[in-house]
Amino acid sequence: MKIRTLDDFDVKGKTVLLRVDMNVPIDPDTKQITGNKRIEEVAITTKALDGAKIVIISHQGRVGRDDFVGMENHAKELEKFCGKKVKYVSDVIGTHAQNEIKNMNDNEIILLDNLRLCAEENYEFSLEESAKTLMVQRLKDLFDLFVLDSFPSAHRTHPSLVGFAQVLPTCAGKLVEREVKQLENILTVAKSPFVIILGGSKVDDRLNALKMMIKKERADNVLLTGLIGNVFLRAQGRIKFPLNIKNEDELVSEAHTLIGEYPDVFSTPVDIAVNKYGERSEIDVRDLNKDDQIFDIGQKTLDYYSKMINGAGTIFISGPAGFFEKENFHFGTKSLLESVANSMATSIVSGGHLTFALKKYDLSEKVNHISTAGGALVRYLTGQKLPMIKCLEDAANGNNSKV
């Protein structure tokens, strides 16, 4: 794969648009950042851009969700890792943002506001159409170089991810460069059986990708936890009440179809830890009732999943098993990560939550590859070309439309 990197450009005195992924976990009550691993990593690339005027852009959360917040706290957090001032600008594509960019001096860093405040950024575009969006048209002439460094969103085709690459000289940032190299190396030696451990709450994104992974023989056993686990439990008829999540009927029906097509692949929790006034209570899945708050997997599930992990050749784990940030409910996430770290398998740990947890439990040194990407990595493992990689390859081959 041929892509250009920062080594191919002299950035001194240039105005650089740096697309990163600082989409981090946010406490729903306090709105504070609860995991800063993705922010910490951005500093690797800002340091490599020494001497440039750096304008950083990122999305945070999804519109309408608890984690959809502005970027002011991200700027403060990033400042700690960059070792220099990061100015937060409360605008994305308006005249305020444009004037701030025009008035920058060399070596300054500004962070624009949450990209998803801009309606266009919430939609997928074709590569050609993305270049015509208001976002790209308003900002493109302010920059000399576009640096793509947001591997966690490499599967999306939002304007900030694929549009600028059509109209500006473009290269990979340090994180994307590292990620692509390491994954290529790992996947050429990956051995079966492939055990996939999936948790977290992004169910719709995962179902399609799971099907492709199974077809491509990249998922021999799929061990489910978190919300996606609950959806499969519902499809199996082991949870008998509605979960009250968006598009529940469609998701459960898709899960049902997958179980029917691949009956031996999926494993779901046998016991669950529920929240009883802050205390942990483990019960059999069949004893759940609709008022129970499912916060973690139980010991029996962990024992069963650990056996599968011990027999794996390659393990991919993404998404927490429960509310690991809450006292009394970190058991499942922590113990699964420990099992993975202690296994003989080649291990890939993926996603913002788990990379944060890995660091918290001091396990980072014991796994083979850590990626802050979640959904993007799942897609990558299906063998599909990610839009971001396509943009970088096109840019390296001179195939992007207007440069």
Q: Indicate whether 374 belongs to the interface with ligand 3PG (CB under 6 A).
A: yes
- Size, binding site for ligand 3PG by CB under 6 A: 10
DSSP state string for 226-256:
HHHHHHHHHHTTSS-S----TTHHHHHHHHH
* Cβ-closest position to ligand 3PG: 23
For residues 305 and 339, is the Cβ–Cβ distance under 8 A? Answer: yes
Region of 351 on the Ramachandran plot (φ > 0 left; ψ -120 to 50 alpha; else beta): left
Of 152, 173, 319, 320, the one binding ligand 3PG (CB under 6 A) is 152
Question: Minimum Å distance from CB 213 to ligand 3PG?
Answer: 16
Cα 301 to Cα 326: distance, rounded to the nearest angstrom: 20
Query: Smaller CB distance to ligand 3PG: residue 285 or 357?
Result: 357
Of 319, 322, 332, 375, the one binding ligand 3PG (CB under 6 A) is 375
In degrees, rounded to 5, the angle at the alpha carbon of residue 154 between the alpha carbons of residues 42 and 91 is 60
Q: Indicate whether 226 belongs to the interface with ligand 3PG (CB under 6 A).
A: no
Helices and strands in the chain: count of H runs, count of E runs:
15, 15
Q: Indicate whether 153 belongs to the interface with ligand 3PG (CB under 6 A).
A: yes
H helices within 115-173, ranges in order? 127-130, 134-139, 164-167
Question: Minimum Å distance from CB 24 to ligand 3PG?
Answer: 9
- Does residue 275 sit in helix, strand or coil? strand
For residues 280 and 328, is the Cβ–Cβ distance under 8 A? Answer: yes
Question: Minimum Å distance from CB 158 to ligand 3PG?
Answer: 8
Of 19, 37, 53, 156, the one binding ligand 3PG (CB under 6 A) is 156
Q: Indicate whether 21 belongs to the interface with ligand 3PG (CB under 6 A).
A: yes
| Residue of 376, 354, 320 whose CA lies nearest to 205 | 376
Q: Indicate whether 206 belongs to the interface with ligand 3PG (CB under 6 A).
A: no
Of 23, 114, 157, 335, the one binding ligand 3PG (CB under 6 A) is 23
Question: Minimum Å distance from CB 387 to ligand 3PG?
Answer: 12
In one-letter notation, the amino acid at residue 322 is G
| Binding residues among 345-364 for ligand 3PG as defined by CB under 6 A | 352
How many residues can be counted in the chain?
A: 403
Q: List the end-to-end C-alpha distance of the chain, in Å, as a whole number.
A: 21
How many Cβ atoms from other residues are within 10 Å of residue 234's Cβ? 22
Mark the segment that binds ligand 3PG (CB under 6 A) among 152-160, 215-223, 244-252, 356-364.
152-160
Cα 19 to Cα 392: distance, rounded to the nearest angstrom: 13
| Binding residues among 40-79 for ligand 3PG as defined by CB under 6 A | 62
> What burial class does residue 50 get, using C-beta atoms within 10 Å of its C-beta: 0-12 exposed, 13-18 middle, 19+ buried?
exposed
Tokens of 316: 């991919």
Query: Smaller CB distance to ligand 3PG: residue 343 or 372?
Result: 372
Mark the segment that binds ligand 3PG (CB under 6 A) among 48-56, 150-158, 256-264, 338-346.
150-158
Query: Smaller CB distance to ligand 3PG: residue 65 or 216?
Result: 65
Query: Smaller CB distance to ligand 3PG: residue 78 or 308?
Result: 78
Question: Minimum Å distance from CB 294 to ligand 3PG?
Answer: 22
Q: Which residues bind ligand 3PG (CB under 6 A)?
A: 21, 23, 62, 152-153, 156, 202, 352, 374-375
